[in-house]
Structures are given as structure tokens and as C-alpha cells.
């Protein structure tokens, strides 16, 4: 199981598959090389994006300012920048939490 994580000048970028309007919030695991995150928030007015940003931040245990949506605001396939974390460290963090 491999989540797509790429380097970025400010940290790294993780691919996320969004599932808005779900029964409960949380990270569901890996799907097609992306981290699948479900949220109860509807996909309107950016509410699901905000909720997914918060879920990812809490799940990784990083500060709010470290996680930012940088791609796919209206798509289910999104890209999130995680600041101040390198690719290897983020891979270890994700692997440890998915077990």
C-alpha cells in the first residue's frame, strides 16, 4: 500500500481521495495511491475541504498552519501540502497510523 507523496519546497504534497457526505469523519485508508478521507460535511461552499483539512491535520498530529489544500478544490482527488515535514517522515507517519 503506497500513498502518493511528492516533495515540495515547503514540505511535501500528499494525494487525498475525498468522500464528502459520509456517515462519520475519519481516514479510511488507501485507495488508488491516495489517502482516503471521509467527512460528514457536504461538498458545498468549501465545507468538505475545510473538514478534510482538519481531519488530516488531527490525524497527522500537526499544527493547523502546516496543512493546506493546494489542488483539486472541486474534485474528489485533492492535493494537500504538509509544511515542514519531509517525504520519508510523512510516509512513516502515515504507515504507522494505517496499521
What domains sit in the chain, N to C, each tagged with a CATH number?
A: 5-98 (3.30.1200.10)
Looking at residue 2, its pLDDT comes to: 86
pLDDT averaged over consecutive 10-residue blocks of the chain (99 residues)? Answer: 92 98 97 97 96 98 97 97 96 93
The model's pTM is 0.95
Looking at residue 15, its pLDDT comes to: 98
Q: How far is CA 13 from the centre of its chain?
A: 9
Among candidates 10, 9, 33, 19, which has minimal Cα distance to 91? Answer: 33
Looking at residue 1, its pLDDT comes to: 59
Looking at residue 99, its pLDDT comes to: 84
Amino acid at each position: 500500500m503506497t500513498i502518493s507523496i511528492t516533495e515540495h519546497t515547503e514540505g511535501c504534497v500528499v494525494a487525498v481521495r475525498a468522500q464528502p457526505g459520509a456517515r462519520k469523519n475519519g481516514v479510511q485508508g488507501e485507495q488508488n495511491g491516495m489517502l482516503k478521507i471521509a467527512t460528514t460535511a457536504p461538498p458545498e461552499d468549501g465545507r468538505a475541504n475545510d473538514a478534510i483539512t482538519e481531519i488530516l491535520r488531527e490525524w497527522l498530529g500537526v499544527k493547523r498552519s502546516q496543512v493546506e489544500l493546494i489542488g483539486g478544490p472541486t474534485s474528489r482527488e485533492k492535493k494537500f501540502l504538509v509544511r515542514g515535514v519531509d517525504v520519508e517522515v510523512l510516509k512513516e507517519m502515515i504507515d504507522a497510523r494505517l496499521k
